[in-house]
Structure 1
């Protein structure tokens, strides 16, 4: 198996189309056509992790955070990023990052976070916008069922817990073909009015090429009439953060003790206690100050995230308990999840969870 043959599995776990626009995900360095010897899964692909990959004979490192986040103008080994990249290249080790592609997945970082705390009835905290598109096309009554089925097979028509979703309406279409036309119904040069079925289906934007291929392959018209719209609907199953409920309400102090134990954090910075018990909890792994208002709007009693600044604690406004549990701590189970996921699908290639602690923050 070549390294590139592992990419579909990585895309299944963390679709690159789910990543935020600012992010740098996918293959960062390395030869995708090299034979895969082994996979080392880590949180951060630091130089020490590359050393571990060399020791374990792994030529693919799958990391959560991209070691290459912005452009490099020089490779001289002057900082930790350049040193890691140089060592990876010298030792023919490929590096692949998932980051916000896994953050936005319904079963990704924040579901792992929520599960660690025992949250139930979870749903996305910040649903992704600008991600759903709609196809509208027109065909003959005889063609509409096989065409619609082909669109479903290509991935169209999935909405939450339902698939094969579409809206179909009948109407009358008109056209006149020129001397070079070959109409399915009617004759060239003649004005034709024919019965047609209008098919409407939604799909995720990364599916567009597959949807269009299915459309053109299975449509009977010489010229396929279709429209694609970008919808403003939020995708309820793709997005950042998670909100759920504890099995039973607990006091704020007991809740923070639970978090400290489950997430193994060296300390928690938090806003003033509200005096309310904690039942509904919002979480967002990594830097999540931007979603404080979302947590409040979701009626959360507490919001757990990381990298909060001084003045952002004021934004709790006494409406919830706002807690910064540490960036690494909020994502600490992610690498283990990735290793388990890959290991259960790959046969013949060893998958290792890195034993290198890459948390740059220490507690005294």
Structure 2
């Protein structure tokens, strides 16, 4: 039977914790990772009612989008809902795992789910992140190149978009003289040696540096491996905030808002005055996304769908884009469906449930 750590490790591969924002607290928040799984309850938020539901369903792992703990707890006295919820989970031997802005920031995450529900095509990250990629260059005897590259690919290097096993190599001559105490793979001590070598280059996610270097050292025939590692300024097109895509057919503004309301099962939409243009290009950001308004404009989106806009921020639309604020909970609630889909693909033998508790703290009359 899989353990809690098997579930969390898999989710960490889907949305690496390295991609979360610096204010976030994704990961295993409470519980023992080596316990065997009895069931998984998936929720947007963790509350006392959610913990009770998990207990009734015999689930000992809650997978939530929002972390129950954002800042460190200095005491557990039950003085607020956060403390009470954590205490209740611990008493019932239920672990809590959060997958928050790291799931927001991957191209298969929260915003992709919104795009699918609206029916957008040709989707891409709205604001890609920089400094998440590295380039590894190394030198290897030509006859060993394929073996070493395959090891690096298995460790996560050489993926570019939907392509994998990507690399570049050039041929040259390597020269060296093994010193005292060495055990050279090629040549002999104190003898100058020349070898036909490849200079090979691969890209890798920065957070996989350790695994990739370990694979390089393990697979490389030389006892001293010559390599260079560079942090790249390139934007990672698969990691970042928001998404933008296109409707199959353009719609008039009010027609689109009605479509949005139906697609996302919304009670209401707060929106700015339509620009007069048809809606074709659509930007989205689950949760609080006002910080992306400028990027949505630069992408030439006709509408920006997000939540938590403040009154004065609506003026920033300046008639160049329509803002559609659909509510924080409403924009992210289908993350539950996304997570259950992800879990069922890998762990079909484990019961994964959508929480039936409505954790939206806002009601509408």
Query: When the two structures are aligned, how many residues end up with a matched partner?
Result: 364
Is 1:287 the equivalent of 2:288?
A: yes
Q: Which moved more, 1:56-65 or 1:161-170?
A: 161-170
Q: Give 1:316 shift.
A: 1.7
Partner of 1:28: 29
Q: Determine the C-alpha separation between the residues in 2 that align with 1:191 and 1:145.
A: 26
Give me the TM-score of the superposition, normalised by structure 1: 0.95
Partner of 1:39: 40
The answer on whether the counterparts of 2:178 and 2:187 sit within 8 Å (CA) in structure 1 is no
The answer on whether the counterparts of 2:8 and 2:97 sit within 8 Å (CA) in structure 1 is no
Q: Give 1:83 shift.
A: 0.9
Q: Which moved more, 1:141-150 or 1:126-135?
A: 141-150
1:181-220 Cα offsets, whole Å, 9 max, x none, are: 2223333224444332101000112322221122111111
Q: Determine the C-alpha separation between the residues in 1 that align with 2:334 and 2:71.
A: 26
1:241-293 Cα offsets, whole Å, 9 max, x none, are: 11111121111112122222222333222222211111110000011111111
Partner of 1:74: 75
Give me the TM-score of the superposition, normalised by structure 2: 0.95
Q: Give 1:321 shift.
A: 0.5
Q: Determine the C-alpha separation between the residues in 2 that align with 1:160 and 1:349.
A: 31
Q: Give 1:309 shift.
A: 1.7
Is 1:355 the equivalent of 2:324?
A: no
Aligned pairs for 1:328-343 within 5 A: 328-343=329-344
Aligned pairs for 1:58-207 within 5 A: 58-207=59-208
Partner of 2:298: 297
**Stretches of structure 1 lacking an aligned partner (at least 5 in a row):** none
Q: Give 1:9 shift.
A: 2.8
Q: Give 1:130 shift.
A: 1.4
Q: Determine the C-alpha separation between the residues in 2 that align with 1:104 and 1:313.
A: 24
Q: Determine the C-alpha separation between the residues in 1 that align with 2:223 and 2:121.
A: 52
Partner of 2:259: 258
Q: Give 1:29 shift.
A: 0.1
Q: Which moved more, 1:267-276 or 1:174-183?
A: 174-183
The answer on whether the counterparts of 1:263 and 1:332 sit within 8 Å (CA) in structure 2 is no
**Stretches of structure 2 lacking an aligned partner (at least 5 in a row):** none
Q: Give 1:25 shift.
A: 0.9
Aligned pairs for 1:42-61 within 5 A: 42-61=43-62
Q: Give 1:147 shift.
A: 1.4
